C-alpha cells in the first residue's frame, strides 16, 4: 500500500502557502439548507486565486523542487484549473512553465493560463491526450512534471483546505468534496481524519466520469472507455494510484451525481447566493441536495472552482431552469393563414406562459404546403404549470412535437 500523506506535511504546506493562497470564506446558506433538508455550509474555494483550489497543490509542489529541478522548468497537463495553478505558481517562483491542454479546453481558461506566463500547447481532445503529450515533452526536454493530483506534495497542498475548513467551522460533521483524479478529496481527508476522525468525508463524481467509483468496486485502478459529462474539471478517465489509496483508506463514501443535478446546483448558487461556480465545483452541492439529509449535520460543500466559459454557463442555466420546470421548449404546427400565430400566442398568454423566443418555419419540414411549424421557448413556473400549458394547447388542437 502506498504511503499516505501525513498531517505534518499538510501543516508544512500551509506555512508555504500562508502568503500565497487566500483564506476563502465559509458561509451558511439558510435558503440552501432549507432545500437540502440539512444545515449546509458552503466553502467558497471558487474565490481562490486562479479561481480554484489548484493553486494550493501546484504551489506546494513547485516550491519543494530543488534549484536544479527548477532550472529544468516544469510541465503539466490540464483542462484548465491545474494549468492556471501551475502557471501562477511557476511565475511566483521564477520557474519556466509549459502547459498542455485539450483542444476543446474552455477559451477563458486557455487565455488565463497564458496571462499567468505559461507556454500553452493544445494537444488532443481529452485530458488523457494532453497528458500523453505532457509526458512526451517531459521525457524529451527534461522538464519536471507537475501532476494534477497523483503526487504527495500536491495532495499535501490540497490538504491545507481541510485544515482551513476545520478551523473556520469547528461544528462541522460532514465535508463533501468534488472528485476527478482524487487529489483534493485525498488531501482534505488526510487533514480532516488526522484532526477530526469523527467528521465524515464524502467524495462526489460526475456519473459520466466515475473512475474512482469503478476502481473502488473493482479493487484496482480502472480506465474508463469514455467520458460523458460537461463538468470538465472532474472529467478524468483514470484515478491516481496514490489518490485511490487515500480514498480507500480515509474517505467514508463516494457518490455520483448527474449532469442535470449539477446544472441545478449551478443555477441555485447563481440565484440564491449570487455566486458563479463551475460545474465541477458545484458537484458537491448537487450531492448535498440529493443525499445530504442522510449525513451528519452540519454538512459543508466545498465549491472547488469558478472558472466556467460564459457560453457554457448560459447553457447550464437553461438546463437547470428546464430541470426545475421553469423553461419549456416545444414545437407545434399551425395552418399557414392570417391570425393563426396570434391565436396560438393568445392561448399561451391565457395560461400565464411568457414567450422567450419563437421561430416560424415554412420550409424544411414534413408538413403540408399549407401548414407551418412553430418552435417556442417559454418561461414557466414549475412542472405543474408546464403540464397545464401543454394540456391547454392539446385541448385546442395544437400537437406537441
Mean pLDDT, consecutive 10-residue segments, the chain of 401 residues? 90 98 96 95 97 97 97 92 96 97 85 94 85 94 95 98 98 97 97 98 97 95 92 90 97 96 92 93 97 96 92 80 80 86 89 87 67 88 88 90 81
Which is the CATH superfamily of the domain at 326-395? ACT domain (3.30.70.260)
Residue 196 in contact with residue 166, Cβ under 8 Å? yes
Task: For residue 306, give the H/E element and its range.
Answer: none
211 vs 200: CA distance, rounded Å:
21
pLDDT score, position 120: 95
Q: Give the distance from CA 389 to its chain's centroid.
A: 34
pLDDT score, position 247: 98
Q: What would the grid cell of residue 37 be?
A: 433538508
Instruction: Provide the H-helix boundaries in 237-361.
Output: 241-250, 259-268, 279-291, 310-323, 340-350
pLDDT score, position 365: 57
pLDDT score, position 366: 66
For the chain, what are the domain ranges? Answer: 1-324, 326-395
Fold of 1-324: Rossmann fold (3.40.50)
pLDDT score, position 153: 98
pLDDT score, position 1: 55
In sequence order, the 6+-apart residues with CB closer than 8 A to the CB of 41 are 26, 27, 28, 169, 172, 298, 299, 300, 301
pTM of the model: 0.86
pLDDT score, position 328: 85
Q: Any idea what the Cα angle at residue 271 is, between residues 106 and 329, rounded to 5°?
A: 75
Please name which of 269, 285, 276 lies closest in space to residue 306, comparing C-alpha atoms: 276
pLDDT score, position 128: 77
> Do the domains spanning 1-324 and 326-395 agree at the CATH topology level?
no
pLDDT score, position 180: 94
Task: For residue 77, give the H/E element and its range.
Answer: strand 74-77
What DSSP designation does 118 have?
A: P
Amino acid at each position: 500500500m502506498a504511503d499516505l500523506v501525513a498531517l505534518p506535511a499538510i501543516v508544512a504546506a500551509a506555512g508555504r502557502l500562508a502568503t500565497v493562497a487566500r483564506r476563502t470564506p465559509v458561509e451558511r446558506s439558510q435558503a440552501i439548507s432549507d432545500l437540502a433538508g440539512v444545515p449546509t455550509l458552503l466553502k467558497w474555494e471558487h474565490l481562490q486565486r486562479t479561481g480554484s483550489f489548484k493553486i494550493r497543490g501546484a504551489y506546494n509542489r513547485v516550491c519543494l523542487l530543488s534549484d536544479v529541478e527548477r532550472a529544468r522548468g516544469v510541465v503539466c497537463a490540464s483542462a484548465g484549473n491545474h494549468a492556471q495553478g501551475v502557471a501562477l505558481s511557476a511565475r511566483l517562483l521564477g520557474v519556466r512553465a509549459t502547459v498542455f491542454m485539450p483542444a476543446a479546453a474552455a477559451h477563458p481558461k486557455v487565455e488565463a493560463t497564458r496571462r499567468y506566463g505559461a507556454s500553452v500547447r493544445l494537444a488532443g481532445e481529452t485530458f488523457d491526450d494532453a497528458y500523453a503529450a505532457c509526458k512526451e515533452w517531459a521525457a524529451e526536454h527534461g522538464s519536471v512534471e507537475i501532476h494534477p493530483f497523483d503526487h504527495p506534495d500536491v495532495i499535501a497542498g490540497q490538504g491545507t483546505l481541510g485544515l482551513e475548513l476545520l478551523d473556520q467551522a469547528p461544528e462541522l460533521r460532514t465535508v463533501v468534496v468534488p472528485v476527478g483524479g482524487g487529489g483534493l478529496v485525498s488531501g482534505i481527508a488526510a487533514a480532516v481524519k488526522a484532526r477530526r476522525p469523527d467528521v465524515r468525508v464524502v467524495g462526489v463524481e460526475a456519473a459520466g466520469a466515475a473512475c474512482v467509483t469503478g476502481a473502488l468496486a473493482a479493487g484496482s485502478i480502472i480506465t474508463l472507455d469514455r467520458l460523458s459529462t460537461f463538468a470538465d474539471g472532474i472529467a478524468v478517465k483514470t484515478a491516481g494510484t496514490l489518490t485511490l489509496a487515500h480514498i480507500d483508506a480515509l474517505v467514508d463514501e463516494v457518490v455520483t451525481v448527474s449532469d442535470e443535478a449539477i446544472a441545478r446546483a449551478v443555477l441555485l448558487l447563481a440565484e440564491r447566493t449570487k455566486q458563479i461556480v463551475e460545474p465541477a465545483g458545484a458537484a458537491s452541492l448537487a450531492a448535498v441536495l440529493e443525499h445530504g439529509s442522510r449525513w451528519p449535520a452540519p454538512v459543508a460543500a466545498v465549491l472547488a472552482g469558478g472558472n466556467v466559459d460564459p457560453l457554457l454557463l448560459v447553457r447550464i442555466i437553461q438546463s437547470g431552469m428546464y430541470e426545475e420546470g421553469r423553461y419549456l421548449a416545444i414545437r407545434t404546427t399551425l395552418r399557414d393563414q392570417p391570425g393563426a400565430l396570434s391565436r396560438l400566442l393568445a392561448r399561451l398568454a391565457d395560461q400565464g406562459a411568457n414567450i422567450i423566443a419563437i421561430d416560424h418555419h415554412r420550409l424544411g419540414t414534413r408538413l403540408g404546403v399549407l401548414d407551418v411549424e412553430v418552435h417556442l421557448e417559454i418561461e414557466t413556473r414549475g412542472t405543474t404549470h408546464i403540464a397545464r400549458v401543454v394540456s391547454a394547447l392539446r385541448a385546442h388542437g395544437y400537437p406537441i412535437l
